Amino acid sequence: MLSTKDLSFNYPQGATFSFPNLNITEGQSLLVLGKSGSGKTTLLHLLAGLMNPADGLVEISGVNLVELNGSKRDKFRGENIGIVFQSAQFVRSITVFQNLSLARSLAGLSANNELAESLLNELGITHRMHAKPSDLSIGERQRASIARALVTNPKVVLADEPTSALDDENAALVANLLQRTVTGHGAALIVVTHDQRLKNRFQNSITL
């Protein structure tokens, strides 16, 4: 489902990264561990098509992301990739539920309120669906963020430091939810983090 080959990236300031080849199928999860500056976020952005690699390819469901031009890549990303960010960013002016609807709309998909509600229910935050993101706790925001990543039925979910800001209890909770929900929906999950607490929670892991 997702594979990379000879992926590398050069920053204009001089930093150069070469990444190991990845190969992950649907329902699988992979933990990418690394210290600060090891290129974890760079890898995640390359996998999401947010940056162009210096060399190599990123293939999702047979489509080489690198070869897609701007708008086609945006559309492909919206339809096939879900992203969970470290600080769970949202559009602040609308509710959690509307944020989920917006994600589908931006991906060019029709509204699916039932799926949005069932995801929020699965993640235990149905009661917060009409709240503004700013009214949610950090843990609730992170769960809402997972729901948003899945509401487009993506093939791959990429999570960037999803537990760094959480205490042990919440970090374990979010990691479990992430794995269970994402793989449960048949998507592949890649988590990049420096959080060593997650090391034993994933069967497959690599260190950069």
Partner 1 sequence: MLGLAYANLKEHFLTTALSVMLLAIGIGMVSFIVTVSNQLNDRFNRDIRGIDMVVGAKGSPLQLILSAVYQIDNPTGNIPVSEARRIITHPLVKYSIPLSYGDSYGGYRIVGTDSVYLRHFGATFSSGTSWSGSMEVVLGKTVAKSLEMSIGSHFHGTHGLETEGEAHEEAHYTVVGILNETGTVADRLILTSTTSVWDIHHHPEESDEHQHGHADEESNHYEDDQQITALLVKFKSPMGIMQVPRFINEKTSMQAALPAIEINRLYDLMGIGFSTLQAIGFLIMCIAALSVFISLLNSLKERKYELALMRSLGASPTKLFALVLQESLLLCLVGYAFGIILGRIAVMTLSTFGEEQFHFSITQVAISEIEIWLLPITLFVGVVAALIPALRAYKTDISTILRNE
176 binds partner 1 (CB under 8 A): no
Are 22 and 73 within 8 A, CB to CB? Answer: no
Query: 194 to each of 15, 17, 36, 88, 137, how far by Cα in Å?
Result: 19, 17, 7, 17, 23
Q: Which of 45, 143, 155, 185 binds partner 1 (CB under 8 A)?
A: 45
Q: Is 93 in the site for partner 1 (CB under 8 A)?
A: yes
Nearer to partner 1, 1 or 43 (CB): 43
The residue among 115, 97, 98, 125 whose CA lies nearest residue 151 is: 115
For partner 1, the closer CB: 42 or 179: 42
Q: Are 106 and 76 in contact (CB under 8 A)?
A: no
Q: Does 106 bind partner 1 (CB under 8 A)?
A: yes
DSSP line for 48-68: TTSS--SEEEEEETTEEGGGS
Determine if 31 is a binding residue for partner 1 (CB under 8 A): no
Nearest approach, Cβ of residue 201 and partner 1 (Å): 24
Chain-centroid distance, C-alpha 26: 14
Q: Which is nearer to partner 1, 47 or 201 (CB)?
A: 47
Q: Which stretch binds partner 1 (CB under 8 A): 67-75, 110-118, 136-144, 181-189?
A: 67-75
DSSP state for residue 110 in the 8-state scheme: P
Least distance (Å) between residue 90 CB and partner 1: 7
CA separation, residue 100 to residues 144, 146, 153, 170 (Å): 9, 10, 12, 22
Nearest-Å Rg of the Cα atoms of the chain is 16
Q: Which of 77, 141, 143, 201 binds partner 1 (CB under 8 A)?
A: 77
Q: How many residues bind to partner 1 according to rule CB under 8 A?
A: 30
Give the interface with partner 1 as residue ranges (CB under 8 A).
41, 45, 48, 50-51, 70-71, 74-75, 77-79, 83, 85-87, 89-94, 98, 102-103, 105-108, 152
